[in-house]
Amino acid sequence: MTDNILLASFAGSVILGAGIGIIFKFRGSTGGTDIPVAIMRKKLGFSAVSGYFLVETSIILTITLVFREPNILILAYLNLFISSKICDMVLEGLPYVKGVYIVTDSKYEADIKDKILKQLNRGVTVFKAEGGFTGVPRNVLFCVINRREIEKLKDIIKETDKNSFLIINDVYDVIGTGFRSRLEQ
């Protein structure tokens, strides 16, 4: 295969993360470290990946102290980081949808809302809000769009109200008109 330990560690991490993700996705168990992780999830409210990270960290530190080899520590954390990210991707998938909050001046609100409805063919929800510093009441627009539509939305905002700001979040699942749920795929 390869004599390059870094390359082997990377490849092993990807395979390990994918395998653990598949097992967790179908509510299976790998044995050993799953038991303390399950206890941490039930009693302390940890996510599976956070619990896995904590348990594996204790193992990595113990092995590093026993063998007194810093390379083990570095490669083990690299493995843990990569396998955790891959496990998350298998469990939750890649975020193909974005949730966008748009804070804009009220005189531009209707124009931005209209452009999102017509140019992106997406719905817009309006939240009542208040400026934390100014105390001025205002509305916040919210829409869920495909990640490929982000640049178009940014263009709409820039050309309409350069002083507005956007908060863009990853959305891992949407159930409703205009999107297919991950459960349906």
Cβ 21 vs Cβ 48: under 8 Å? no
- The three-state secondary structure class of 9 is helix
179 and 105 inside one domain: yes
Which amino acid type is present at position 59?
A: I
168 and 109 inside one domain: yes
Q: What is the largest CA-CA distance in the chain?
A: 66
Among residues 41, 70, 92, the one where a domain terminates is 92
Which domain, by its residues, includes 109?
Answer: 97-184
83 and 34 inside one domain: yes
- Which residues, in sequence order, are bridge partners of residue 171? 97
104 and 136 inside one domain: yes
Counting every residue, how long is the chain?
Answer: 185
102 and 44 inside one domain: no
Among residues 46, 74, 92, the one where a domain terminates is 92
pLDDT score at 178: 63
Question: What are φ and ψ of residue 121, in 5° steps?
Answer: 55, 40
Cβ 171 vs Cβ 95: under 8 Å? yes
Q: Please report, for the domain that includes residue 167, its CATH number.
A: 3.30.70.120
46 and 103 inside one domain: no
35 and 70 inside one domain: yes
Q: Which residues contact 84 (CB under 8 A, 6 or more apart)?
A: 17, 49, 52, 53
Which run of H or of E encompasses 168?
Answer: strand 165-171
Percent of the chain as helix, strand, coil, to the nearest 5: 55, 15, 25
Number of separate domains in the chain: 2
Other residues' Cβ atoms within 10 Å of the Cβ of residue 28: 11
Among residues 46, 73, 92, the one where a domain terminates is 92
Other residues' Cβ atoms within 10 Å of the Cβ of residue 97: 20
Cβ 141 vs Cβ 109: under 8 Å? yes
Q: Which residues contact 95 (CB under 8 A, 6 or more apart)?
A: 147, 170, 171, 172
Mean pLDDT for back-to-back runs of 10 residues, the chain (185 residues): 85 91 83 82 82 86 89 88 86 80 91 94 91 88 91 94 91 72 46
- Unique residue bearing structure tokens 């531009």: 108
pLDDT score at 154: 94
Which run of H or of E encompasses 101?
Answer: strand 97-103
